[in-house]
Chain A
């Protein structure tokens, strides 16, 4: 039976409430975790009902960082929204740029030159590595390893941010991709510097894994905690490393054939149990696969233009129509849905944020767990509030 054919009523855990009944002794304790909470990666609230240490109910409260991204984008030109996409998921600004550029390119039927495609792949994979490294660092920070794993992750992240900065002019908010190409060309020295950084990355992942993967505390606190069943993951349209940790083989780089990912050889790491440890492990393995993609792309990158000569830069008015462009962002499927009415600004601009949709199963994963594990389960989802609330 295919997972996609299952009807909701046959899926374990789908008809949720009646969830977990308190055992009737004593009263429930309601705790508001957030919006100022050291673990919440920003401003997010979880209203948790506790029976002793056990979580009986969990209600997520969003909206503390709602910055009107979509509304602002509908009021400006297509290109003027590009810097705003940087601030969606502020760890991975280049992935966001690519998803938005892809949607607009689909809308107008724009081609992208070969060299620009390679640059996009290189930047997106560098972004993925620094995001996964930071995520694991934050996860360990929440487990109580105060600072040290995060420092290892940020040491490597700074090297990658240096590359971003020398190419785009900004450490975090890169604003680099354009419809039909990229903003500036990469230079020979930049490629040499990137090769050097990429050559050092496997040693970093090895070191990271030697410190963490067989760590007793990490295994005790992560294995079998926060299990997400594949059926529920598919039905709740979870995507990204979280879905793959549950054992569902779905990677948009393989499924959607966007960009030039068909040319590279890489495997899609899959988990088996769907617990926090699998999510951690899938991220580590994805970093290794990304290093493989980077090595291939840096070897094969051709010369040529970085901008399609037919690309229209001024007076950009797509014909009336609609398009949906999606990529495999580090956090999951990031999509932009655009409706054009022929005017210089989009009629409707909608972001499909992986962070928000991956959060929808938070209660299912947390029920019956200890309250201390809620923080870990939440950290393993890997969200960024800029993208959740937009």
Chain B
């Protein structure tokens, strides 16, 4: 139950701070999202540029890039995921602790991008792991990554703690491990994880 905003402001003027557990909890979660230090290709350089002085991702509480997936909350898929790399990406995602979020940065991570016709390029990481925010661009500008970050923060802010939309770490039924694809005869096996990605129906 949210507090009436006008009442909250009025009480604030009287020196009384009113909030809900949900707001406080989500405020804490969204203000210290630690990304994983994990660069794949060209977009990783723009990711590094975002953390540097000019764009300063630290303003959003996300300057601590953790090399270990165990300590990270956010995975930024920054670059082309090849079929040789996809199993390791899924494995790294599995090793992250809940609550965990994924930003697919750049055209390659979304769909294969300019290299889509290549035989070794995965056509979007959202086939294997759930992606929260997609950013287009080749590579996206640092501002775009900051925009994606703010979108993610908004998403965290709006998550109710109970009910069907509750975050996955509060849902005992939620899928924790995602199957790691194996190199098959022609493609990765399976070609996508069921439940994460549905094969689009082509209407002719």
Contact = CB atoms under 8 A, between A and B. Distances in A.
Contact of B118 (A67, A150, A173): A67
Contact of B117 (A66, A72, A154, A155): A72
B126 interface: no
Contacts of B45: 90-91, 172
Nearest to B138: A173
Interface in B25-67: 37-42, 44-46, 48-49, 52-54, 67
B84 A63 contact: yes
Contact of B80 (A63, A67, A155, A157): A67
B92 interface: yes
A256 interface: no
A42 B44 CA distance: 8
Interface string A31-74: 00001111001110000000000000000000111111101100
B117 A67 contact: no
Given A43-B85, A66-B84, A151 B53 contact: yes
Contacts of B49: 154, 157-158
B168 interface: no
Contacts of B118: 67-68, 71-72
Given A66-B120, A150-B52, A173-B138, A42 B82 contact: no
Nearest to A154: B52
A35 B119 CA distance: 20
A386 interface: yes
Interface string A1-43: 0000000000000000000000000000000000111100111
B115 interface: yes
Contact of A65 (B40, B54, B67, B69): B40
Contacts of A154: 48-49, 52-54
Nearest to A155: B53
A171 interface: yes
A83 interface: yes
Contact of B120 (A42, A68, A172, A173): A68
Contacts of A35: 85, 88
A273 B42 CA distance: 33
Interface residues of A, number: 33
Q: Looking at chain A's contact residues, is the secondary structure mostly helix, strand, loop, or mixed?
A: loop
A66 B81 CA distance: 9
Given A72-B117, A158-B49, A172-B139, A64 B67 contact: no
A172 B46 CA distance: 9
Nearest to B52: A154
Interface in B110-138: 114-115, 117-121, 138
Given A36-B88, A154-B52, A42 B39 contact: yes
Contacts of A90: 41-42, 45, 139
Contacts of A327: none
A120 to B, nearest CB: 22
B88 to A, nearest CB: 6
Contacts of A37: 67
A155 B56 CA distance: 12
A43 B40 contact: yes
Interface in A133-190: 150-151, 154-155, 157-158, 171-173
Interface string B72-98: 000000011010110010001000000
A68 B52 contact: no
Contacts of A71: 118-119
Contacts of B85: 35, 43, 64-65
Interface of A: 35-38, 41-43, 63-69, 71-72, 75, 83-84, 87, 90-91, 150-151, 154-155, 157-158, 171-173, 385-386
23 contacts: A35-B85, A36-B69, A42-B40, A42-B44, A43-B41, A64-B84, A65-B40, A65-B41, A65-B80, A65-B82, A66-B120, A67-B118, A67-B120, A68-B115, A68-B118, A83-B114, A90-B41, A151-B52, A154-B52, A158-B54, A171-B141, A172-B45, A386-B41
Given A43-B85, A71-B119, 6 more contacts: A37-B67, A66-B120, A68-B118, A68-B119, A154-B53, A385-B41
